[in-house]
Structure formats: C-alpha cells, structure tokens
Amino acid sequence: MSPVDLVIVIAGLIVAAGAFVVGQRLASGKVRIDSAAQAATTAEAERIVQEAEARKRELLLEARDEALKIRGDAEQEVRQRRSDIERQERRLQQKEEQLDRRIDQVERREQNLGQREAELDRVKAELTEAKQQARQELERVANMTAAEAKAVLLQEIEDEVRQDANRRVREIEEETKEEAEKRAQKIIVSAIQRWAGEVVGEHVLSVVHLPSDEMKGRIIGREGRNIRALEAATGVDLIIDDTPDAVTLSGFDPVRREVARVALTKLVADGRIHPARIEEVVAKARQEVEQEMREEGEQAALKAGVPGLHPEIIKLMGRLKFRTSYGQNILNHSVEVAHLAAMIAAEMGADVQVARTSGFLHDIGKAVDHEVEGPHALIGADILRRHGKMSPKVIHAVAAHHFEEEVRDVYPVIISAADAISSARPGARRESVESYIKRLEALEAVANSFEGVEKSFAIQAGREVRIIVQPDKVDDLGAVRLARDIVKRIEETLEYPGQIKVTLIRETRAVDYAR
C-alpha cells in the first residue's frame, strides 16, 4: 500500500467515526424526546420534536462540515507527502546517476593503472637487466667481484670514519684538558698563594747534647747496666760514638724516641744515673710526652680550625708531631692540608668545614700504622668510626684520599690534591740520592716494559717521563692508547707524591740518498 492510499483510508475512518458520533447523539436525543412526550402534553411534545429535528439538522450540517474539513486536511497532507516523495525520488535518481558516472571513472582509472603497472614491470625488468649488465661490465673492468668491491669500499669508509673519530677524540681531549688545567691551575695557585708553609728542617734521629764527654761513661754505667736499663725502659737504641758532647737516639717509634730524649735530658741535668732512677725518670718523661701530645693536638686543631674533636683523636693527632715523612712533620703537614683543602673547597663551592676536617685528619692512621696492619687511610677511617660522631663524608674522604676505596663524592679528590700540593711543594720534603735514583730507574723501567717503546727518559726530578716509540709499530691511535696504559701501570706499581706527566713522542723520518 502506497502512502497516498494509506492517507485516504485514514480520512475515511475519521469520517465514519464522525458519523457514528452524530448517530449516537441523535439516538440519545430521541430517547429523551420520547420520555418527554410521554410526560408532557401533545403541544409540548410537538414543540420538542420540532426542536429535536432542528437540532438534528444542525448536527448533521456540523458533522458534514467537520467531515469535509477533515477530508480537505487529509488531501492537503497527502499532496504534501506526495510532493516530498517525488522530490526524494528525484534526488535518489540524481545520486544514482552520479554513482554510475563515478563507477565508470573508477573502471577507466583501473584500466589505466593496470596499463601503467604493466609498463612499470616492463621498465623494472629492463632496469634490472641493465644494472646486471653494468655490474658485469664493472666487474670486468675493475677485475674484482661485487663482494670484493664492497669489502674495499667498507674498509675505506671504516678507515675514514676511524680517522675522523680519532681526530675528534683528540680534539675533545685537548679541549677538556685545556679547560680542566686552567680551572685546576687557578684553584691550586690560589690555594698555594694563600698558604705559606715551612721548609723541612727536622731529622729522623734525635740527638741529646752533653755537658762533657765524661757524661758518656756515666750514661753507659758499670758494665753497661745504665745504658741497658735506659734502652729497655724506652725501647730505643742509644748510639754513643766519637761525636763530641752528644748522644744519638735511634728508634722506629718517634714517640718512644721522644720519651727517651726527654728522660736522658733529665738524667743528664740531674746527674744521678742508675737503673732505679732511670725507670722513674722514664715514667715521668712518658707522662710529660703524653701531655705534650694532647696539648700539641689541641693547638694543631685550633690552627686548622677544627674544634670539638674527641680527646682520643686529639691525642693521636698529637702523636703525629713526632712522625715525619721524608723529613716533613706529619702534624704540620696535616694542618697545612686542612687549610689547602678548605681553600680548594671554597673555590669549588663544596662544604668548607667538611674539607677542612678531612684534611686535618687524613693522616691520623699514621699515628698507629706501625701497630695495625693495613693502609693508613683505611686505619684512619676505622679510628674515626670508633671515636666520636664523625660525619660520614669526613670518614669517606679520609678512607678514599689515596683511592683505596671507591670515590663517592668530591672530598677525597680535594684531600688528595691538597695532600699532593703540601707534599710536592719545594722544600716540603727531603729525599736521599739513593731513593731518588731508584725512583727514576723504576719510572723508566715501567715505560720500557711496553712493546713498541724505543727509549724513555725520566726528567723534571721524576715529575715527567718522555717516551720515544717506534713509528712502524705504534700508530697515532696506538700512541694514545699506549700513553694511557703507561699511566695506568705507573699508578698501580709506583708510589710517588704529586703527579707524573707522561709524554709520548712518535716521530717518522724519511731518509733517501741522491746518487
């Protein structure tokens, strides 16, 4: 059924419903009229019948008008719907025509693409054949296969890239070294300029001056009992030789040597020298030396700007007054390192007090290193852990300033630099000729142990080693690696203050003769 027929059926149903309503109303009116007729007079009944007839005609007219109106509205709506349907049919027809045209275009494009694809396949086949012919011709002309040519090309590219990489690495290293040297020199020079240390003047042996040579016999005693008692009580050796008016004390422990010196000085001044008196004076001298160590430790802590240390740490630092390294007093060296470390830390923006405390305590392990096994840096760190609430950064700096353990922050490096500055400055230490020559020979031996080294020369008092390599065995890249290997071997096998510069020279000479 079409929409138009559906609208017509609906309109008929509406008209039938109107007629049914009118009939119902008429039937209802008729019932009322009959009732009135029975109850009223005949005249009244006639009048009512006339009115009912009139009302019937009015209702019929109204129903007819309503039905006509409903029919007109239905026809109008049917015409509107039909017009909409016709417009939609035209639009659908237009879209179908457009779709047909597009389908035709797509079919034509597919045909063109198929032709082009076939053409491309043909051209690709021709190019592949031409490429194969060109490769065969190139292999014939170059007298090598494609794999061989590829290997040669890759080798050339690899050599070129390696040269560029080596050049770039050298440039970066030079820039980094230059910048690092400038900053390091600025920091170190600033620290050195602000600190003026003493020139070494102490000796390893202790000498006690006597009023006369007759006192030597009294010190020795009958059958040597006095000298044996003194050596047993102090633990040092007394050397009585032909030196006029002097006795030399020799001992491994500097504290014992100081106790012996104080005790012998008192015995010589008193004049009463016998075994019982020796034991009494040695005991008093030991107490005086311990008191002196505490006082010296406190004064050194004040000089270094590190107050509030544990009494046991103060006492151990005081022991370092009687300890020397290459003639350099360790306690004065510790104070000097504390000031230098504080200056370097201030320049670098680090914690000055941590650096100062670490520098002052960095050699505390040397106070007991003849009694405890192990490196003095680790011994000192253990001492700091046992006594007082010491900062973990200070303990780590003391333990790692000689790099016996892994460095976790900047303070071990600061202490190491300050230690090297204090030890390596002119006049800080004294070195014997024998040890000096042995150090130079060991330095040259390490350099000569590497393959490709032709000659090596230790110069600048062992601060630099210059190495000449064989150019046919060591190339430029190998020279850089060889220098690093030599530096690593020196760091692992030799002990030296400061730093050693390794300069590697590779020289190629071309010699020919004109005849």
Confidence band for 356, pLDDT divided at 50, 70 and 90:
very high
Where does the pLDDT of residue 27 fall: very low under 50, low under 70, confident under 90, or very high at 90 and above?
A: low
The 10s digit of each residue's pLDDT in 243-289 is 777 788 877 777 788 888 888 888 888 778 888 888 888 888 888 88
Q: Output the six-digit token pair for 151.
A: 């290997």
The per-residue pLDDT for range 6-18, each reduced to its tens digit, is 656 666 676 666 6
Between 429 and 299, residue with greater pLDDT = 299
Q: What is the mean pLDDT of residues 336-364?
A: 89
Average pLDDT for 398-424 = 84
- CA proximity to 170, closest of 484, 455, 446, 471: 484
**Rounded to an integer, what distance in angstroms lies between the CA atom of residue 340 and that of residue 300?**
15
Q: What is the C-alpha separation between 380 and 413, in angstroms, rounded?
A: 17
Domain 433-506 sits in CATH at 3.30.300.30
- Per-residue model confidence (pLDDT) at position 201: 37
CA atoms of 434 and 142, how far apart (whole Å): 68
Compute the distance between CA of residue 196 and CA of residue 198 in angstroms, rounded to an integer: 7
The pair of three-digit structure tokens given for residue 32, joined into one six-digit string: 């009322």
**% of residues, the chain, pLDDT over 70:** 84
Q: Find residue 209's DSSP bridge partners.
A: 246
Instruction: Identify the residue whose tokens are 């009223």.
Output: 40
What is the C-alpha separation between 476 and 505, in angstroms, rounded? 10
Q: Residue 202: which pLDDT band, with cuts at 50, 70 and 90? A: very low
Of 142-151, 220-229, 254-263, the poorest mean pLDDT is in 142-151
- State yes or no: pLDDT of 142 exceeds 80: no
pLDDT at residue 272 in the model? 81
pLDDT the model gives residue 436: 67
d(CA 244, CA 210): 9
* Type of residue numbered 162: R
DSSP labels for 286-341? HHHHHHHHHHHHHHHHHHHT--S--HHHHHHHHHGGG-EETTEEHHHHHHHHHHHH
Work out the pLDDT band at 486, boundaries 50, 70, 90: very high
Contact between 202 and 329 (Cβ < 8 Å): yes
Per-residue pLDDT, averaged over 361-380, amounts to 83
Quick one: which of 271, 267, 294 has its CA closest to 280? Answer: 267
Contact 11, 74 (CB under 8 A): yes
At residue 92 the predicted structure's pLDDT band, cuts being 50, 70 and 90, is very high
Q: What is the pLDDT of residue 242?
A: 72
What's the pLDDT score for residue 2?
57
Centre a 10 Å sphere on the Cβ of residue 472 and count the other Cβ atoms it contains: 8
At a CB cut-off of 8 Å and minimum separation 6, what does 219 contact?
A: 226, 227, 230, 238, 240, 247, 264, 267, 268, 273
Partners of 207 in the beta sheet? Answer: 248
Do residues 205 and 250 lie in contact, with contact meaning Cβ atoms separated by under 8 Å? yes
Across 126-132, average pLDDT:
86
**How many Cα atoms sit within 13 Å of 497 on the Cβ side?**
18
Provide the mean pLDDT of the chain. 80
pLDDT: is 269 or 351 the higher one? 351
Q: For the purposes of burial, counting CB atoms within 10 Å of the CB of 290, is it exposed (0-12), middle (13-18) or buried (19 or more)?
A: middle
463-478 confidence digits (pLDDT tens): 789 999 988 888 888 8
Task: Give mean pLDDT, residues 147-174.
Answer: 78
| DSSP calls for 423-477 | HHSTTS----HHHHHHHHHHHHHHHHTSTTEEEEEEEGGGTEEEEEE-TTT--HH
Residue 249 contacts residue 227 (beta carbons within 8 Å): no
Residue 340, both tokens:
């230098």
Give pLDDT, residue 216: 77
Could you tell me the pTM of the whole model?
0.47
Q: Is the pLDDT of residue 200 over 50?
A: no
Q: Please give the pLDDT value at position 198.
A: 47
Buried b (16+ CB within 10 A) or exposed e, 8-33: beebeeebeebeeebeeeeeebeeeb
Per-residue pLDDT at 446 exceeds 80: yes
pLDDT recorded at residue 190 = 64
How would you classify the pairing of strands 501-506 and 324-325?
A: unpaired
Specify the pLDDT at position 424.
Answer: 62
pLDDT tens by residue, 318-339: 888 877 776 678 888 889 999 9
Topology at the third CATH level for domain 206-424: Hypothetical protein af1432 (1.10.3210)
pLDDT value at position 47?
Answer: 85
Higher pLDDT among residues 399 and 240, named by residue: 399
Q: What percent of the chain has pLDDT over 90?
A: 4
